[in-house]
Each structure stands twice: as structure tokens, then as C-alpha cells.
Amino acid sequence: MAEEKKDIMIQFQDVEKYYGSFHALKKVNLTIDRGETVVLIGPSGSGKSTLIRAINGLEPIQEGHLTVNGFDIHDPKTDINKIRKRVGMVFQHFNLYNNKSVLENVMLAPRIVNHIPEEENEKYALDLLDRVGLKDKAGSMPSMLSGGQKQRVAIARSLAMKPLALLFDEPTSALDPEMIGDVLRIIQEIANDSDLTSLIVTHEMNFARKVANRVIFMADGQILEDSKTEDFFNKPTSERAQQFVDQVLDH
Amino acid sequence: MAEEKKDIMIQFQDVEKYYGSFHALKKVNLTIDRGETVVLIGPSGSGKSTLIRAINGLEPIQEGHLTVNGFDIHDPKTDINKIRKRVGMVFQHFNLYNNKSVLENVMLAPRIVNHIPEEENEKYALDLLDRVGLKDKAGSMPSMLSGGQKQRVAIARSLAMKPLALLFDEPTSALDPEMIGDVLRIIQEIANDSDLTSLIVTHEMNFARKVANRVIFMADGQILEDSKTEDFFNKPTSERAQQFVDQVLDH
Amino acid sequence: MMIIAASIFDAFTPSNINYLLGGLGITIGVSIISVIASLVIGAFVGVIMYEKVPFLSRYVTIINDVIRNLPLLLIIFFIYFVLPRIGLYLPVFWATVIAMTVFESTMLAEIIRGGLLAVPAGQTEGARSVGMSNAQALMHIVLPQGIKKMIPPIISQLISLVKDTSLAVGIVLAEMTFRGQIVYAQNSNYTIPVFIALAIMYFILNFGLSLIAKWFDRRMAA
Amino acid sequence: RNARHVDTWERVQRLGAIRWGVKADTKLFGLMNTKSGEPEGFDVDIAKALTVQLSKQSGVPMRADFTVVTSNTRIQLLKNANIDGFIATATITPEREKIIDFSNSYFKAGQAILVKDGSGIKNVRSLNNSKSTILGVVGSNSVINIKKFAPKARVLALGDYGQAMAALKAGQGQALTTDNGILYGLATENPGYSVVGGTFTTEPYGVAYDNHQTAMVKQTNRALKAIIANGTYNRLIRKWFRGVPGLNWRSLER
Amino acid sequence: MINLLTSNFGAFLTAFGYTVLSSIIALIASLILGTLFAILQIVPSRIARGIARIYVEVFRNIPLLIIVMFFYLVGTRVIALDGFTAGTIGLSLYTSAFIAETVRAGINAVDIGQTEGARANGLSFSQTLRIIVLPQAYKIAIPSLGNQFINLVKNSSILAFVAGGDLMYTANNVAAATFDSFNSYIIVGIFYLIITLPLSYYMKYLEAKTKGLAKEDS
Ligand SMILES: Nc1ncnc2c1ncn2[C@@H]1O[C@H](COP(=O)(O)OP(=O)(O)OP(=O)(O)O)[C@@H](O)[C@H]1O
Ligand SMILES: Nc1ncnc2c1ncn2[C@@H]1O[C@H](COP(=O)(O)OP(=O)(O)OP(=O)(O)O)[C@@H](O)[C@H]1O
Ligand SMILES: NC(=O)CC[C@H](N)C(=O)O
Ligand SMILES: [Mg+2]
Ligand SMILES: [Mg+2]
């Protein structure tokens, strides 16, 4: 498996995922190259979170191969933490460590996982907080931040591990409308960084249009559409996708 | 107070509201006539929920007069349940009774508050569920419904008390994007019912534009703007409102 | 009622009061040692049950469930009768400490397991998603947050422990309740006043503890 | 089987002390003095006298230490090696002799009943009906014996004599049964309650040791003879039982 | 062990019956009392809240042994209470203090939105409490009520001290008569586990189920 083509970052081959008897991912095939920015959309319950969490090993798969950065996640010999170190994840509900300050949230994993020297670690963490506009909140506890601020810290926390890929699971859907803009702007900046691979689940269609190279549409655990962004928004091939886009853009 | 002009439904006169030492509503003056549809917007924490909850007596006010349907809410002699019977409220998180079926949710208050005969009550409840498109879910428990369905049941539940006014506090902001349309459509139908007074907090600007007679903009506990809908969207007078509208419409 | 009132004065001579207070010392002594021992063991067992280590967690959980579902009184008697069979000859004080520790550590283990489970899954996921190991996530993220939720039930369990030392009366530990019995053995008219005095002393001790716990809890929350 | 008791006689000489189990809740025999923290009573004094005599016999100076026991725990404390022996109003019975050793009898008691004056109960036979409840203490053979004399009555076993007496006063039963000596102790402080009907069993008290302590038992029997011979025994009988109403202390002398 | 069990089978079985009976009576009584004192703690009357607080604190902070002794020796002077009755009353009052706390916590854990929804819908305070909040509070409290019940069964062993005829009392008597303490206590231990273990596993199952549901909800 380590002989994958060098420019493939994430590859699903006939992946099947079950929750008990519920079939959540059905024969999923998907290849994402290094540096790509891919947006994943689809109705609620279609399996978007399941797919994205599988990449990070948060959900085990039952069948098929899922190769991330050259390692097969489904192979029991693979050390999942090796993958996670290089693949960051940003959650809908932020999942900041409630018991740690903002700065500690960013510094903890580099310190205890990558053993970065304290000084270097702090400097980089503060740089990142600066980049997301929150250097002045370094000493605050998560509970004192607004949703938008929390999400920006979560993004900085992921970046601190110098990831090759970042996964975003509805990063703005728990935010007040006013806060959404700031977070999307930062995600866009990160995605434009040509080295980084991004996979983003979102309902913000305008944003998707601006940022994505490709759009993937899922329904009922299947990938129904995988197209260039402009093609997708001009005319989705499947009726289900058309219907979805209409509904989301309607009001 | 009962000699208010007959066509005024809700009137705030120099209302002040504190949470402990926090000044949440500052000298609020506002008059809403019977049959009007008013949209209330403003940034997070500006006091929109506080204002709307005060009308229903869910939050006590400290100063001023707040007259609803001719009764002064701030007067200790007023029986708040008399007002609540005629003023319905729809919440962001639906607040359906989790321990009652859909039909029971709708029938409970008319039965135990208004003592409507069982048969008549059930007939009307089923009519309402039909109106919101959920007659077939009458026997379901709330936990089996999607967010959009829950909110439609909540609307039916409010209507069952034959209210003079309905208050909506961000009725769609906890919903999946696909579900929002249906709920907004029903709210619009209700608002167009010329007898009913509606006060709606929402971030859905397109909807606001379609449904409202007037738009009220709040920030920091104050009403900064109170204009005809078209006037507001063409050119808000305050800079703060302009900025807010830009931000919400931006992405 | 007359008898009670009259015998209150007779029952509480300075030497009797002293004697009872000496029992309070033993009650507190047994409690403190058992608290510390059962917190350590309970934390260990609780984490094993939470972590789902293959085999180990399963058997530890079964043993824990059996013990915590037995009456403490029974465990006290049982331990007391069993220890010599396995060659352990202990003074009553230590037999009580062992019985209390065996029982209370199973109760605490259950509380600790529950507290860890109550930390939202998102916290573990956040930690795991940046490459932390299970142990690192537990130590740095889950445990510190779980402890906050565990404190109130732990405190009430510890208050139970203090009350439960009264059961050691069955194996003649000279704690407060037993000494109460000795006092009324002098004159059986003292029986009722002594029980009232015991009730008051336990109440002060435990209510005091719960006030301290509340204060502590508020400080933690702030 | 009992490592620390392999040989009690050898052990007490080695340590220069005998740890006696005595009662602390039984008037006349063993009752705690809360001022001194030391138990006092006939059994306690016998223990002291025996210790002195046993010291003489062995030539090793020995101290008497006291540990509190109750009817329900005395045998277990012996088995747990918390004590070397007990002198605690314990009747020598064949059942007990299977698991522990007894010296010769040092006191002859008999089981009786204590009732409220004017209750109309004259003896144990008047309790033999299903309406009667008889109170006793867990671990005493009295609650087992009584079933032979009043098989129809209900028997309730409480934790100690204080509780049993309080229960009798509270009306939880019509009679309290145990050995006459213990009952006289309770009767002295509770006017209005009397021992009635005389004794209906014989209860020879013995000094108890763990199983197979032949040496210790032999030495104890020798010591018992000695303290009877030198008048100590009768002095103790006088000290504790003279003036107890209803009790003929002279008959107890040896 | 088998010998001891068969030769005293009748006694153990009767004792088991007493333990079960006392537990069931105390469960029902303490649920009723506990709910009452939980409600008193949330009504808008300071006096009611104060009385409820005192009740709960008193019964929570005094050992059950002493409460039971009190009813057995003192309470019985008011109306005759035998050991079983006095023990069961003590057990009920003691447990009700804990149940009051559990039910109160359950009430507090019901989403405030449920109350607001009901009040906004025109229901009165007591209607809201009775019809909407309490049923949900009980549901939330089930795991913890279950644990209280298990504790109650275990605590019923206190009846031994007042000759309540229960399992523990019988174990003590059999042990004293046969000198076979080891096996007597093992036998009653098994009898206790027959009641408590299935309950405890059922509670764990419920806990797992509600947790699973909560996950799907969010
Ligand atoms: N832990 C779980 N156990 C059982 N079923 C689950 C679990 N997690 C998700 N599912 C089910 O799997 C399906 C896909 O869920 P998933 O969360 O991936 O959907 P999604 O596309 O992310 O939806 P949303 O837009 O609501 O986040 C849903 O039907 C969901 O109910
Ligand atoms: N119960 C409360 N106690 C103390 N402060 C409160 C309470 N409820 C609201 N506040 C504060 O009052 C202010 C106004 O709150 P309110 O909920 O009315 O705002 P809002 O405009 O509805 O905001 P959002 O758009 O986030 O719902 C906020 O600063 C909030 O923190
Ligand atoms: N309770 C007692 O110790 C006295 C009763 C009786 N002599 C016995 O040995 O059991
Ligand atoms: Mg999802
Ligand atoms: Mg609000």
C-alpha cells in the first residue's frame, strides 16, 4: 500500500461502513489528491460525517481499503496515531479542551505527541493564534469565547500539528450568522495554501463555490456526484442533487 | 390600562430589564398593532430574545409598562396566564413536550387550560396538524420527528390556543438547511392571516423581506431602528444596522 | 418523656461524654484511612472499567459489581470471619478499615467510571484527532474534566462512609456507636438519650462535611 | 490451623501478658468504667486473679490486658487471635467444646426470665404461647435454650443487653431471658422489673481458649483451684454479689 | 454450605421474604415521600423549601442504624412498632431523603425549554410540573433511582439490629447457633445478590441505552 502514487492523499476503495445493522457508507470510492480542496455536501443523515470521521479513524470501516497518506487505515498493523498526527480535524462543535486555556489547547498535542521544544512550540502557537486573529485571547479559557472564536482556536489547534490534510465537519453550522464570515475567510486562506489537502462538509453554497476545486454530493451513504465545482453548480447531473441545491438556496 | 386604543396589541413604554446587574433592555418603546407582522433582527446578545420573552411574561421586567392585549404585565394584579392563553410562542429549540405524542402536544393546553370538549379539541388539533402537513404523524413521539417537523408541530400547538398574537424566536435557526423552507412557508401563511399579530426574530433576510410589514433592529438592548420593511432593506438609517445586514447577507 | 428528660442529665456525665468523644476519634480515624485507601483503589478500578482493557476490564467489572451489590454489614462480618482463614490476624480496627475499603472502593470505582463516561465524547475525539494516544487523552483531557463531575457524588459517598462506620458496632469496634452502647449498658435508662446524642454527633460531623464539600464545589466551579 | 495460637501457654509466657476478652456491657460481670476506660466486674477480677496465679505457676511475670467482647463476637475474636482467652459469662456447652476449649467451671449460673412487675407472668411456662415474645441477645445460648422451654413463643435476638432491656421497656416483648446473674444486674437499675420463676437451666461458666490448648487449660484449672483455696475466689463473690437483691450470694461461695 | 442451606432452608427463605417485603414497602413509601420533598424544594415558598431542606439534611446525615433504633425504642411508645415495622419505617424515611435529592436533580435536568413551552402554552405551574416536568424527571432519574433501590435493599440488612427477621438477622442467628459464620454469610450474600445483581445490570443496560439515544439525538 505504501507504493501508492505519490500525489494521492486520501483514497477510498469500495469502502463499506455499518453502524450495527445500519448501512452508513455503501461501496464508497473516492480519490483526493494532495493540495486539493474538496467540498462534501448532501442532506442530513447521508453519511458526510461518517465519511470524514472514517478518514481520521474515529469510525472504523468494515470493508474495503481506505488509504490516507499512504497508510491503509483498515489494516490492523497501521498505527492510527501516525495518521492522525498528519491529518487534522475541525468539528461542528469545536471540541476544544474545556480544561485548558486557548494557548494550551494549541500547544498540548505538539508538546506531548511531537515533543516540540517548549519555546518553539509557544512561538508557533502564538503565530497561529495571530493568524486566526486571536493572539489576545491566548490566556482565556474556552468557556469565555464566542462560538466563532472557539472555532478559530480549533483551527489553530489543528494547524499546530503541521497537518498534510485538514478535515472540516460543518465548521460553521453551530455559529451565529454574524460569526460565520470570519471563520469561512480563515478556512479559505488555509485551503488556498497549495500544499494542504482540505475536505470540507458545509451547507454554505456560496463559500463552496468560491473555495472548492471539486464538489462531492452524497445521499443515503452513497456518492452520487463528484464533479468540478462549476459543473456542479451549473447543472448537477442527478435529480437528487439538483433538488438539494434548490432547497438550500431557496430561502 | 384597559382603555388602550383597541387596535394596539403590544406596547412597551420605557421598559427596563436587568439580569442581575446586566442591563438587557434599555428604555424600550415599541408599539405593535393588531394584525401586524413585525420582524426583529440584531446581533447576538442584543436582547431580541429578552424582548420577545418579556411579552409572554417568561422574563420579568423591572421598570416601565408592558401592555399586552390590554393587560399590563408589570402589574402584579395581572394574571399572567390570561395573557399567555392568547399569546403563543414558538421557540428556537421547539420545546415540544417530549413525553407526549404529537397529537397530545397540540391537545393538552386546550384541554386543561381552556376545557375544550375532547371531541372538538381533537378535531381542531387534527385540522391544525393537517395545515402544517403532519396529520400522519399525529401518533408519533417528538423524538421520532426531524427538526423541521418538530417546529411545525410547535406552531400547530401554539395555534391550538387560538392566539391573538404569535411570537417566534429564531424558529428556523436550529434546523437543517433543507428543512427551513417548509417552516418559513407555514409561518408566512400564518402571518398573512390578517387577524393575527406576529413578532418574528429571524436571521433569514429574504424571508423577512417577504413577510414583514415592519423591521425592528436592536443592538445592545436598545431599539436602533424601526422602519417599514422596504425602507429598512433599501437603506438602514444607522450604520450598525447597515453593517449587520451586510455581514449576514455576505456569505 | 419524663424519664428521658431526667436521664439526660445522668447519662451525660463528663466521663461518659469523654468516652463517647473518644469513639468519635475512632470513627474519624477509620473514616480517614478508608477514604484514602478506597479513593486510590477506586480510581484505579474505575479507570480499568472505563478503558475496556480486554479480559481485565471484564473480570474487574464483574467482581466490582458483585461486591458493590452486597450489604456493607455483610461484608464487614464476612471479612471479619474470613481474614483468619487466609492467615491474616488483624485487630478489629484494621479489619473494619479493610471491609470499608473493599466496599467503598467498589462504590467509588463506579462513580469514577460514570464521571469519565459523562465527559462528552467530543473531548476525546478532539484529543485523538490530533494524534494523542488513549492514555494521553485520558490523563490530559478526560480525567481533569471528569473529576469535576465526580466530586459531588464522591463527597456524598464519603459521607455515607462516615455513617457506615457505625455498622462496625457489629464486630465491636470501639467507635462512637459502640461506645454509646457501653454507656447505656451502665444503666438502660440511658439508652434513648444516648441514641439522641449519637444522632446529633453524627449529624454535626456529616452536615459539617457536606458544607465543606459544597464550599469546595463552589470554589471549583468558579 | 491457628498460627498465632499454636500454643497459648507458651505464647503468653513469651510475651509476659495475657489478652483476656471480657464483656463491657454486662453489669456485675463486665462493665466498662467510662472514667477509667477499664472494664470492671466479677469476670474481670477473676481474669486478674488468674493472671497473678498463672504468673506464679510459670515463674514469668505476666500482665492482664483486656479486650472488649460481646456474646456474638467472643468466639470469633478468639479465632482471629485478637485475644488469648475470654472470661465472658460463657456457658460450657458440648457444641462450643467442639470448636474451643473450656477450663473447669468457675461459676454456676442458670437461665431465668426478667419481666415487668404485675405482668402476671410467673415462670417460663406462662410464656409458652404464640402471643408471647421473648427477648434475648444474639450469640447467647439463652435464645437457643428458650425454644425448648417455650417453643410456641416468638424469640427476638438483639445486639446487646442495653438494647434488649430498652426493648423490653418499650414493650417489644414480655420477657427478657438470659442467665440469672446478668438479669439481677439489670433488675437493680430498673425498678419495676423482677426475675421470676427461678432458674430453669444450669449454666456453668468456663474460661475459654482456642481449640487444643491442653497446656493452657491445665494451667488454668490449677490456678482456679489455687484462687479458690487461698480465699480470693470467695472474696470476689462477696465483692460483686453481696447485696444484690434476690440473689443468695452465699450459695455461690466455694 | 449446601448442608447449612438445606438444614436451614425454611429460615433463609422466610428471611428472604422479609427482606423483599421490607424493601418493596420502603421503595413505595420513599418514592412518595421523596417526590413530595423534592417538590417542596422547588416551590416558590421559602417556608416549604426550608422544611424540605431540614428533612432531607437530617435524614441524610444520620446513620440509618440510629434512625431505626429510634423508631424501635422510642417510636414504639407512640404506636406499637415491631422490629420489622420500625426498621421499614426508618428505611423509608432515610431513603426518601436520598430520593428527594435524586428527583430534584431530575427536575433540574429537564430542559428548561419544557417548562417554558408549557407556561407559554398557558399551563399553570402545577400543571406544568405534574404533566410535563415530573414524568420526564422520573425518566431522567431512573438510573439513579435504580441505584437508590439497590442501596435500599442492601440497607435493609439494618433490620438485623432490631430483630427484623430479615436475611442478615437470620444469618447472625444461624451463625451463632451453628458456629459456621463463613457459610451463613456466603448464603445470605447470594440471596442479596439474587435481588441486587439483576437490578444493577438492568440499570447498566438502561444507562447504555439512554446514552446511545442521546448520541443519535445530537
Ligand atoms: N454512532 C452511530 N450509531 C448508529 N447510527 C449512526 C451513528 N452515527 C451516525 N449514524 C447514522 O448514520 C447515518 C449517517 O450519519 P452522518 O452523521 O454521517 O450523517 P451526516 O450526513 O453527517 O448528517 P448531518 O448533516 O445531519 O450531520 C445517519 O442515518 C445516522 O443516523
Ligand atoms: N438568564 C440570563 N442571565 C443573565 N444574562 C442573560 C440571561 N439571558 C440573557 N442574558 C444576557 O442578556 C443579553 C441579551 O440576551 P438575549 O438572549 O436577549 O440576546 P439575543 O439578541 O436573543 O441573542 P441571540 O441572537 O444570541 O439569541 C446577552 O448579553 C445575554 O448574555
Ligand atoms: N449472653 C451471655 O453471654 C450469657 C448467656 C450464656 N451464658 C452464654 O454463654 O451464651
Ligand atoms: Mg454530520
Ligand atoms: Mg436569542
Per residue in C81-131, pLDDT tens?
A: 777 778 887 888 998 999 999 999 999 999 999 999 989 889 989 888 888
Confidence at residue C174, expressed as pLDDT on a 0 to 100 scale: 82
Highest mean pLDDT among A79-88, B96-105, C17-26: B96-105
Residues B144 and B182 in one domain: no
Q: What is the pLDDT of residues A119-145, one digit of tens each?
A: 999 999 999 999 999 999 999 999 999
Among chain A, residues having any CB pair with chain C shorter than 8 Å are: 56-58, 81-82, 84-85, 88-89, 91, 93-100, 108-109, 112-114, 154, 157-158, 160-161
State the sign of the Cα–Cα–Cα–Cα dihedral D170, D172, D173, D175.
Answer: negative
Greatest alpha-carbon span in chain D: 59
Contacting chains of C (3 CB pairs or more, <8 Å) are A, D, E
Give burial (CB, 10 Å; 0-12/13-18/19+) of A162.
middle
Return the domain boundaries, chain E: 1-217
Using the mean position of ligand 5's atoms as its centre, give its distance from the Cα of residue B195 in Å. Answer: 26
Task: Round to whole Å and give the CA distance between B172 and C152.
Answer: 38
Return the domain boundaries, chain C: 2-221
Confidence at residue A1, expressed as pLDDT on a 0 to 100 scale: 43
Q: Which of E215, E216, E217 should be mutated for ligand 1, with most atoms under 8 A from CB?
A: E216
Task: Round to whole Å and give the CA distance between A145 and A100.
Answer: 13
Residues B77 and B180 in one domain: yes
Residues B131 and B238 in one domain: no
- The ligand 3 site (C-beta within 6 Å) comprises D 71, 89-91, 137, 140-142, 178-179, 203
Position A167 in a domain: no
Worst-scoring range by mean pLDDT, C60-69, C122-131, D229-238? C122-131
Q: Is A220 left (phi over 0), alpha (psi -120 to 50) or beta?
A: left
Residues A23 and A126 in one domain: no
Average pLDDT over residues A96-112: 94
In Å, what is the CA distance from D209 to each residue of C83, C171, D92, D236, E43?
19, 19, 12, 22, 64
* Contact in structure between D8 and D85 (CB atoms under 8 Å): yes
Q: Quote the minimal CA–CA distance from A21 to chain B in Å.
A: 19
* Contact in structure between A51 and A199 (CB atoms under 8 Å): no
State the sign of the Cα–Cα–Cα–Cα dihedral A48, A52, A57, A61.
Answer: positive
> Which residue from A minimizes the CA distance to C134?
A81
CA angle B63, B66, B69 (to 5 degrees): 165
What percent of chain A clears pLDDT 70, i.e. is strictly above it? Answer: 97
Q: What is the pLDDT of residues B122-132, one digit of tens each?
A: 999 999 999 99
Q: Is D4 on the interface with C (CB under 8 A)?
A: yes
Confidence at residue C89, expressed as pLDDT on a 0 to 100 scale: 79
Using the mean position of ligand 3's atoms as its centre, give its distance from the Cα of residue D208 in Å. Answer: 13
CA dihedral D34, D36, D39, D40 (to 10 degrees): -100
Chain E residues within an 8 Å CB radius of B97: 114, 117-118, 131-132
Pairing of strands D175-179, A63-68: unpaired
Order the strands of the B8-19 sheet from edge to edge.
B22-33, B8-19, B63-68, B71-72
Bigger pLDDT: E52 vs A6? E52
Q: How confident is the model at residue D121 (pLDDT cuts 50, 70, 90)?
A: very high
Bigger pLDDT: B61 vs E209? B61
Residues B27 and B126 in one domain: no
Chain B residues within an 8 Å CB radius of E116: 58, 89, 91, 95
Please tell me which of the candidates C65, C66, C192 has its beta carbon nearest to residue E74: C192
Average pLDDT over residues C171-183: 86
The pLDDT mean for chain B works out to 92
* Residue recorded with cell 437530617: E58
Residues A81 and A199 in one domain: yes
Residues A225 and A112 in one domain: no
CATH, range E1-217: 1.10.3720.10
Q: How confident is the model at residue C4 (pLDDT cuts 50, 70, 90)?
A: low
Q: Which of D134, D182, D205 should be mutated for ligand 3, with most atoms under 8 A from CB?
A: D182
Greatest alpha-carbon span in chain E: 69
Complex ipTM value: 0.83
- The answer to whether the CB of B24 is under 6 A from ligand 2 is yes
Total beta-carbon pairs less than 8 A apart between chain A and chain C: 65
Average pLDDT over residues B60-74: 93
Of the three residues B114, B140, B162, the one that is the final residue of a domain is B162
- The answer to whether the CB of B49 is under 6 A from ligand 2 is yes
Q: Are chains D and A touching, using the cut-off of 8 Å on CB pairs and a minimum of 3 such pairs?
A: no
**Looking at the DSSP assignment, which residues form a beta bridge with residue D86?**
D21, D208
Q: What is the pLDDT of residues A143-196, one digit of tens each?
A: 999 999 999 999 999 999 999 999 999 999 888 888 898 899 999 999 988 789
The pLDDT mean for chain A works out to 91
Retrieve residue B75's grid coordinates: 402589574
Task: Round to whole Å and give the CA distance between E76 and D147.
Answer: 26
In Å, what is the CA distance from C107 to each residue of A211, B5, C66, C72, C202?
54, 67, 11, 11, 21
Residues A82 and A177 in one domain: yes
Residues A81 and A103 in one domain: no
Q: Is D231 left (phi over 0), alpha (psi -120 to 50) or beta?
A: left
- Of D216, D197, D19, D15, the closest CA to residue D100 belongs to D216
Query: pTM of the full predicted structure?
Result: 0.86
Domain containing residue A25: 1-86+172-250
Position B91 in a domain: no
In this model, does residue A54 exceed pLDDT 90? yes
Residue type, C39: L
Which top CATH class is C2-221? mainly alpha
What percent of chain C clears pLDDT 70, i.e. is strictly above it? Answer: 95
Chain C residues within an 8 Å CB radius of D159: 169-170, 181
Residues in chain B: 251
Residue type, B141: M
* Contact in structure between C144 and C134 (CB atoms under 8 Å): no
Confidence at residue B185, expressed as pLDDT on a 0 to 100 scale: 93
Residues B180 and B219 in one domain: yes
Task: Round to whole Å and give the CA distance between E217 and E210.
Answer: 10
